[in-house]
């Protein structure tokens, strides 16, 4: 009787390449995002995934500091097979690593924005595309600063239940003010920026176009995609996906859930059709696993990241 050696596990630490899918049990092995190799060596790397376990700016329920762990765990379901809906393994040609988590002193909140920005810039300065996993939505502000330092002012494509444009004197660490801050700091061009799925009202739109939750339903996926493409045009863009854009039925594990949101299918269908946009960076935030059930929210967050990387891989294949 011959013995067939099983496939190797723990690609996250023992993988010998930053490309190619990983085939190991979903229920075992060291967890990285989509089993990518953990590495700080960015030689030959196209994109890096960075976790940011920070949630000290929330206005309701904390817990998004565990978001990177939850999303990595849920991403194990993407085990190296051709990825839906792209009909291909994204890592066949796209070299991606899991860069691990951003480091900072939790007891010095005032220093954390600069820590996030500096570590993001270390990646971007090596011409590597960065996708980040939060953490609460405040982390997007220092991430935008890092991206703008490289690319100049950006269009913002924001999936969210909240506008995040509440008043801010410029010194707050607050997940509800980051978009307004980004406009006032000149990080984003409001005339090319759009928010999708909004289900609350803030005093100021800061000039961004807003698609409210009910408008998404009325327009349908194709109508929403057309509005996003028309708004952004050919501008360099940053995508931020607050998981509370989804209805609580599809994302209960978040700090500030709001009823009436998108389904996970709607959101992923919209994202799938944004390939023509010139995204230079992105993130998914506000996944709080402690309030989740059966990893519903973590799976949604992992799927957003998987779709984003799928778009990058598709664009690279198409040249």
In the chain, where are the structural domains located? 33-318
Helices (H), strands (E): how many in the chain? 8, 8
Q: What is the mean pLDDT of the chain?
A: 95
Closest CA to 194 of 153, 234, 130, 237: 237
CATH architecture, domain 33-318: 3-Layer(aba) Sandwich (3.40)
Burial of 25 (0-12, 13-18, 19+ CB in 10 A): exposed
The answer to which of 35-49, 70-84, 149-163, 187-201 has the lowest mean pLDDT is 70-84
What confidence tier does 257 reach under pLDDT thresholds 50, 70, 90? very high
Longest dimension (CA), the chain: 74
pLDDT tens, position by position, 78-114: 977 789 999 999 999 999 999 999 999 999 999 999 9
Judge whether residue 7 has pLDDT over 80: no
Query: pTM value?
Result: 0.95
Cα torsion through 303, 307, 312, 317, rounded to 10: 120
d(CA 280, CA 8): 34
Distances in whole angstroms, Cα of residue 104 to Cα of each of 45, 118, 130, 235: 25, 11, 19, 32
pLDDT tens, position by position, 109-149: 999 999 999 999 999 999 999 999 999 999 999 999 999 99
Point out the annotated binding site.
137, 160, 162, 164, 242, 244
pLDDT tens, position by position, 186-244: 999 999 999 999 999 999 999 999 999 999 999 999 999 999 999 999 999 999 999 99
Report the Cα 38 to chain-centroid distance in Å: 18
Point out the annotated binding site for Mn(2+).
137, 160, 162, 164, 242, 244
What confidence tier does 254 reach under pLDDT thresholds 50, 70, 90? very high
Confidence at residue 5, expressed as pLDDT on a 0 to 100 scale: 57
Residue environment code for 99-108, b if the CB has 16+ CB neighbours within 10 A, otherwise e? bbbbebeeee
């Amino acid at each position: 009787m011959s013995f067939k050696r099983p496939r190797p596990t723990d690609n996250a630490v023992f993988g010998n390449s930053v490309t190619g899918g990983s085939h190991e049990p979903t229920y075992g092995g060291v967890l990285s995002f989509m089993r990518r190799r953990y590495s700080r060596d960015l030689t030959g790397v196209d994109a890096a995934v960075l976790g940011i376990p920070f949630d000290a700016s929330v206005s309701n329920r904390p817990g998004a500091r565990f978001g990177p762990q939850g999303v990595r765990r849920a991403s194990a379901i993407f085990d190296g097979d051709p990825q839906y809906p792209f009909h291909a393994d994204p890592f066949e040609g796209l070299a991606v690593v899991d860069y691990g988590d951003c480091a900072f002193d939790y007891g010095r909140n005032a220093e954390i924005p600069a820590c996030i920005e500096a570590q993001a810039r270390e990646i971007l300065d090596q011409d590597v595309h960065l996708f980040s996993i939060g953490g609460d939505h405040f982390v997007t502000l220092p991430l935008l600063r890092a991206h703008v330092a490289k690319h100049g002012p950006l269009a913002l494509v924001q999936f969210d239940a909240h506008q995040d444009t509440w008043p801010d004197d410029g010194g707050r660490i607050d997940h509800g003010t980051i978009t307004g801050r980004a406009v006032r700091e000149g990080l984003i061009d409001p005339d090319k920026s759009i928010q999708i799925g909004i289900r609350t009202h803030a005093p100021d739109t800061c000039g961004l176009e807003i698609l409210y939750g009910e408008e998404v339903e009325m327009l349908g996926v194709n109508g929403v995609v057309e509005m996003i493409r028309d708004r952004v045009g050919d501008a360099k863009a940053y995508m931020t996906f607050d998981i509370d854009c989804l209805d609580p039925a599809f994302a209960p594990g978040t700090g500030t859930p709001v009823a009436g949101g998108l389904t996970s299918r709607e959101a992923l269908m919209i994202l799938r059709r944004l390939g023509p946009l010139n995204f230079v960076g992105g993130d998914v935030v506000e996944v709080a696993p402690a309030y989740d059930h059966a990893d519903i929210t973590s799976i949604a967050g992992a799927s957003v990241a998987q779709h984003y990387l799928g778009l990058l891989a598709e664009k690279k294949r198409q040249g």
